[in-house]
């Protein structure tokens, strides 16, 4: 005995005709490389802005007296023997005193006219301050007899790095 077809069902021939009319699913086309998504454009713009700000900052630093002082100190430090800490201290002292004279107005309290403990206190204060040992060495070493600072407590590379940091902080 055959079971009756449910109500609303199509005959078998009609179902096959409808299935033959169906098409396959179409896949989307590949994502193009160009133009990039808005997020990538914003990221590239942000990176460009950061590079522009860094370039302007470097350009402005190169226009300062501190940059000229740094160049002069580097030239003098390169001209000195690698382990001649006294020559580095003498070069640093002359450059730093002239830079302090530019930064501060002339007068009795000017850092350029300070000597001894007052100069050491000035070097130990402010941005990129020296430690007390290095500042005391820097205050006295340029005035010692040649060759007497060879066994000092400060190495030439450490002193040069501290001086460069101090000069850059004045920019």
Q: Higher pLDDT residue, 143 or 110?
A: 143
User: What is the percent of the chain with per-residue pLDDT over 70, rounded to a whole number?
Assistant: 84
Confidence grade of residue 41 (pLDDT, cut at 50, 70, 90): very high
Q: Residue 38 pLDDT > 70, yes or no?
A: yes
List, for residues 82-109, the tens digit of each pLDDT value: 778 888 888 998 899 888 888 776 655 5
* 82 SS3 class: coil
Residue 151 confidence (pLDDT) above 60:
no
CA atoms within 13 A on the CB side of 27: 3
Q: Give pTM, 2 decimals.
A: 0.62
Q: What are the extents of the domains in the chain?
A: 65-169
Cβ contact 123:53 at 8 Å:
no
Q: How far, in Å, CA of 26 to CA of 5, rounded?
A: 35
Minimum mean pLDDT range among 41-45, 56-60, 114-118: 114-118
Q: State the pLDDT confidence band at 127, using cuts at 50, 70 and 90.
A: confident
- The residue ranking higher by pLDDT, 116 or 12, is 116
Q: Which runs of E-coded beta strand occur in 8-164?
A: none
**Residue burial 22-56, b: 16+ Cβ < 10 Å; e: rest:** eeeeeeeeeeeeeeeeeeeeeeeeeeeeeeeeeee
pLDDT level of residue 72 (50, 70, 90 thresholds): very high
- Give residue 152's pLDDT band: very low, low, confident or very high (50, 70, 90): low
Q: Could you list the beta-strand ranges (E) of 13-165.
A: none
């Amino acid at each position: 005995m055959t079971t009756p077809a449910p109500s609303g069902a199509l005959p078998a021939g009609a179902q096959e005709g409808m299935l033959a009319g169906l098409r396959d699913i179409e896949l989307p086309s590949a994502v193009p490389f160009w133009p990039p998504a808005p997020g990538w454009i914003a990221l590239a713009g942000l990176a460009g802005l950061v590079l522009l700000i860094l370039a302007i900052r470097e350009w402005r630093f190169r226009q300062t007296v501190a940059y000229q002082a740094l160049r002069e100190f580097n030239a003098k430090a390169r001209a000195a023997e690698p382990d001649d800490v006294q020559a580095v201290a003498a070069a640093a002292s002359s450059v730093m005193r002239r830079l302090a004279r530019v930064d501060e107005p002339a007068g009795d309290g000017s850092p350029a006219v300070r000597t001894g403990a007052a100069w050491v206190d000035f070097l130990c204060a402010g941005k990129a301050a020296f430690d007390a040992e290095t500042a005391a060495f820097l205050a006295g070493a340029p005035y010692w007899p040649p060759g007497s600072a060879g066994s000092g407590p400060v190495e030439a590379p450490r002193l040069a790095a501290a001086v460069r940091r101090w000069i850059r902080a004045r920019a």
